[in-house]
């Protein structure tokens, strides 16, 4: 069972809000449906069947939670089995929209905003309209937006459709420890930056800031002697950490006031992040322009002017990282994904 990222705080369509005097609290209630090989999920509840071509993964390159799904789909080679639709980097309070597509309409689902897929299944859907989301193509209905399970099930349930040489992102010999590592990464880092950015008081901000940097120092130490979080090869734990690190200097350092240091000033984490960025399946999923537009334009509680910063220079991500000296094989017994056309 994956670390469910169950913690506090909200990543609804409108991003989040600053509530004066309050700590940021993430709503982790998602559509609990799963897509599995058998007829029920691990808890015995009815589930949707794995079937190539039946579902479309809806994402936004700007969103770190959706970025996980983009990377895992690439690493496992699920492109032919699960189509993908990209929302634009900005949205209103209603929903992410398909403004990157001709006419602003997803070419497969025929809709302008992902909200339509949610309302088709739940006409009175009360929660945030989030990405990533899996949508059944034939009915146009959302299946699930439970993002920790989406990537877990890509690895565990879609194995029949994995490419030859797909890496094992959930290796059995480290799975228990990996669950613990991923839980800390989510609560203290992935969600920790949001807890800083949307703190409603000086006291809650400083407490969130201290928690974040305690975890960042722990990661700097952990990764000093091992190439990846769980050892010699990439696992889902690395995917989950990478999407936050990729956004750190461009967004979280300034916009979310996580400013003790830049990522580029942490020698181990910066080298580790570049190592992943330069690994097939990771860097090509990152669009810094879309990332910056999302945070600086949508989150007007924090940035009311909607001015988007020009920097930092993304070319820094392509500089040598030197992590090869730690050995290891990024894909374990597997192989890199084919280059994107």
| Tens of pLDDT, residues 211-260 | 999 999 999 999 999 999 999 999 999 999 999 999 999 999 999 999 99
Within a domain: residue 225? yes
Same domain, 42 and 152: yes
Closest CA to 4 of 36, 26, 37: 26
Write the DSSP symbol of residue 20. Answer: T
Within a domain: residue 26? no
Which domain CATH number covers 99? 3.40.30.10
The neighbouring-strand residues paired with 233 are none
Closest CA to 167 of 57, 63, 287, 280: 280
Closest CA to 50 of 60, 63, 41, 62: 41
- Give the Cα separation of 49 and 46 in Å (integer): 10
Within a domain: residue 1? no
Structure tokens at 178: 């990996």
Same domain, 218 and 141: no
Taking the alpha carbons at both ends of the chain, their separation in whole angstroms is: 34
Same domain, 217 and 282: yes
Give the domain extent around 90: 35-161
Within a domain: residue 15? no
Distance of CA 174 to the CA centre of its chain: 22
Question: If you count DSSP H runs as helices and E runs as strands, how many of each does the chain have, helices first?
Answer: 9, 6
| Residue 230: predicted pLDDT | 98
87 is catalytic: no
Same domain, 55 and 176: no
Which one from 30, 55, 63, 252 is the annotated catalytic residue?
63
Structure tokens at 231: 């050892």
Closest CA to 276 of 333, 341, 328: 328
Same domain, 180 and 232: yes
C-beta of residue 128 within 8 angstroms of C-beta of residue 11 = yes
Burial label for 93, CB within 10 Å (0-12, 13-18, 19+), is exposed
Within a domain: residue 261? yes
Name residues of the chain where pLDDT drops below 50: 4-15
194 is catalytic: yes
Q: Which of 140, 161, 182 is the last residue of a domain?
A: 161
Q: Which of 130, 161, 192 is the last residue of a domain?
A: 161
| Residue 45: predicted pLDDT | 64
- Give the Cα separation of 32 and 182 in Å (integer): 20
Binding residues, by number, are: 96
Q: What 3-state class would DSSP assign to 97? A: strand
Same domain, 187 and 308: yes
Structure tokens at 65: 């939670």
Same domain, 184 and 304: yes
* Stated pTM of the model: 0.93
| Tens of pLDDT, residues 116-162 | 999 999 999 999 999 999 999 999 999 999 999 999 999 999 999 99
Same domain, 201 and 59: no
Within a domain: residue 231? yes
Angle at 149 between CA 148 and CA 150, to 5 degrees: 95
| Residue 38: predicted pLDDT | 79
Binding residues for glutathione, by number, are: 96
How would DSSP label each residue in 137-161?
Answer: TTT--EEE--HHHHHHHHHHT-GGG
| Residue 341: predicted pLDDT | 52
Label the pairing between strands 133-136 and 83-87: unpaired
Which domain CATH number covers 262? 1.20.1050.10
Within a domain: residue 133? yes
The neighbouring-strand residues paired with 142 are 135
Asked whether the bond before 312 is cis by omega within 30 degrees of 0, the reply is: yes
The DSSP element (H or E) to which 136 belongs, if any, is strand 133-136
C-beta of residue 179 within 8 angstroms of C-beta of residue 171 = no
Q: Which of 161, 194, 228 is the last residue of a domain?
A: 161
Length of the chain equals 341
Which one from 30, 194, 295, 296 is the annotated catalytic residue?
194
Same domain, 199 and 131: no
Indicate the Cα dihedral angle 75, 78, 82, 88, nearest 10°.
20
Question: What is the tally of structural domains in the chain?
Answer: 2
Same domain, 153 and 177: no
Residue 13 backbone dihedrals phi, psi, to 5 degrees? -60, -35
Same domain, 156 and 180: no
Within a domain: residue 282? yes
Same domain, 100 and 200: no
| Residue 340: predicted pLDDT | 74
């Amino acid at each position: 069972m994956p670390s469910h990222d169950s913690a506090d705080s909200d990543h609804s369509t409108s991003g989040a809000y600053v509530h004066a005097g309050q700590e940021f609290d993430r709503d982790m209630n998602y559509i609990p449906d799963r897509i599995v090989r058998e007829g029920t999920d691990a808890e015995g509840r009815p589930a949707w069947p794995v079937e190539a071509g039946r579902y479309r993964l809806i994402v936004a390159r700007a969103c770190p939670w959706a970025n996980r799904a983009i990377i895992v789909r690439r690493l496992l080679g699920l492109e032919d089995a699960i189509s993908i639709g990209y929302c634009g980097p900005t949205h209103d309070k209603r929903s992410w929209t398909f403004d990157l597509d001709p006419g602003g309409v997803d070419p497969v689902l025929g809709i302008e905003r992902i909200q339509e897929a949610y309302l088709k299944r739940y006409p009175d859907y009360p929660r945030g309209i989030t990405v990533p989301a899996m949508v059944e193509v034939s009915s146009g209905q959302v299946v699930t937006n439970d993002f920790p399970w989406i990537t877990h099930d890509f690895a565990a349930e879609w194995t029949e459709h994995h490419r030859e040489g797909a890496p094992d992102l959930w290796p059995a010999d480290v799975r228990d420890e990996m669950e613990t590592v991923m839980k800390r990464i989510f609560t203290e880092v992935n969600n920790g930056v949001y807890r800083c950015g949307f703190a409603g008081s000086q006291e809650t901000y400083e407490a969130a800031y201290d928690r974040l940097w305690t975890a960042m120092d722990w990661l700097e130490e952990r990764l000093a002697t091992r190439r990846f979080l769980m050892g010699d090869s990439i696992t889902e734990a690395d995917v989950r950490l990478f999407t936050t690190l990729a956004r750190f200097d461009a967004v979280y350092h300034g916009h979310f006031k996580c400013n003790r240091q830049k990522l580029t000033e942490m020698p181990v984490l910066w080298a580790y992040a570049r190592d992943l960025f330069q690994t097939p399946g990771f860097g090509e999923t990152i669009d810094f322009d879309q990332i910056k537009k999302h945070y600086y334009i949508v989150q007007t509680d924090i940035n009311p002017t909607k001015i988007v910063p020009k920097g930092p220079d993304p070319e820094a991500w392509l500089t040598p990282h030197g992590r090869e000296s730690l050995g290891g094989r990024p894909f374990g017994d597997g192989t890199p994904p084919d280059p994107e056309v």
